[in-house]
Amino acid sequence: MSWEWEIIWQYLPKLLDGAWLTLELIALSGLFGMLLALPIALMRASKNAWLRAIPFAYIFFFRGTPLLVQIFLIYYGASQFEVIKESFLWPILKQPYWCAIIAFSLNTAAYSAELLRGAIQSIPKGEVEVCEALGMSKPLMIRRVVLPRAFGIVLPAYGNELLLMLKSSALASTITLLDITGMARTIIARTYTPMEMFFAAGMVYLVIAALMIATFRFIEFRLNRYQYYHHTPLPKTLDPQLRDEHLDT
C-alpha cells in the first residue's frame, strides 16, 4: 500500500473549510448551551425539591441517551409532525445546520448544568454568609459572588466538556453537514484514500484541540490568578511574635 501525501496537500483547503463549520458548531452550541445551563444549574441547586425535579429529568434524559439518537430525533423526528411543519419553527428545523446546533446545545447544556451545580454547591458557605451579612439580595449575591466563583471553579471541567463536544461534532456528518469528518468522507468517496484523509482530519482535530486547551488555560489563569500569587518571603530577623504561620513558608 502506497501513502499519497500529495492527496493530503491537495485537499487540505477543503478540510480547513470543514474545520470552519466545525468551529461554528462548537462556538454556537457552547454559547447556547451555557445560556441554557445557567438557569438549569440554579434550579438544580435550589432547596425546593419540586424545583429540582424538572431540571433533573432534563439532565437525566440528555445524559442518558446517545447524542446520535438526539440528533436523529430532532432532524428526522420533527418532520413527522404536521403541526411542526406548519409552524414558524419549520424553516429552522428543516435545516441540518440548525438541527445539529440544537442537538449539541441541548446535550452540552445538560452536562454543563451539572458541572455548574457542583461548582455552586462547592462554594464555601462562609462566602455566602458574608453576602447575607452585608445585606445583599439573592439576585445580587448570585450575580456578584456565586456565579463568578462558580465559573472559576468549573472552568477546567467545562474546557473538557467542549473538547468532548469537538470530538462529538463529527456526528454532524450523519445529517449531511460537511464538517471535518463529513468533508473527509466526501473526499474519500472521490479519491479512495481513506487512510490519508482520516489521518489529515485527525491532525486538524488535534490542532483545534491544542488551541482550545491553550485558550482555556489562559482564561483559567486570568480568572483564578489569585491562586498563582507569590508573597514576599518574611525576613528571618523578624520578631517571632509578628510572624504569621500561614505566610511563613
- Residue 152: inside a domain: yes
CA atoms within 13 A on the CB side of 226: 4
- CATH number assigned to the domain comprising residue 101: 1.10.3720.10
pLDDT at 80: 86
pLDDT (tens digit per residue) in 78-135: 888 888 888 888 888 889 999 999 999 999 999 999 999 988 888 888 888 888 888 8
- Residue 248: inside a domain: no
Instruction: Let me know if 86 is exposed, middle or buried by CB neighbors in 10 A (0-12, 13-18, 19+).
Output: exposed
- Residue 231: inside a domain: no
Q: Indicate the residue type of 119.
A: A
- Residue 240: inside a domain: no
Residue 204: domain span: 5-225
- Residue 241: inside a domain: no
How many domains does the structure of the chain reveal? 1
Q: Indicate the residue type of 154.
A: V
Phi, psi angle pair for 30, to nearest 5°: -65, -40
Q: Which three cell numbers stand for residue 195?
A: 487512510
Q: Provide CB contacts within 8 A for 247, sequence distance 6+.
A: 231, 234
Q: CA-to-CA distance for 116 and 106, rounded, in angstroms?
A: 15
- Residue 246: inside a domain: no
Q: Residue 205 in contact with residue 167, Cβ under 8 Å?
A: yes
Mean residue pLDDT across the chain:
87
Q: CA-to-CA distance for 169 and 148, rounded, in angstroms?
A: 29
Q: Residue 108 in contact with residue 33, Cβ under 8 Å?
A: yes
pLDDT (tens digit per residue) in 179-222: 999 999 999 999 888 999 999 999 999 999 999 999 988 888 87
Give the CA-trace dihedral at 231, 237, 242, 243, to 10 degrees: 50
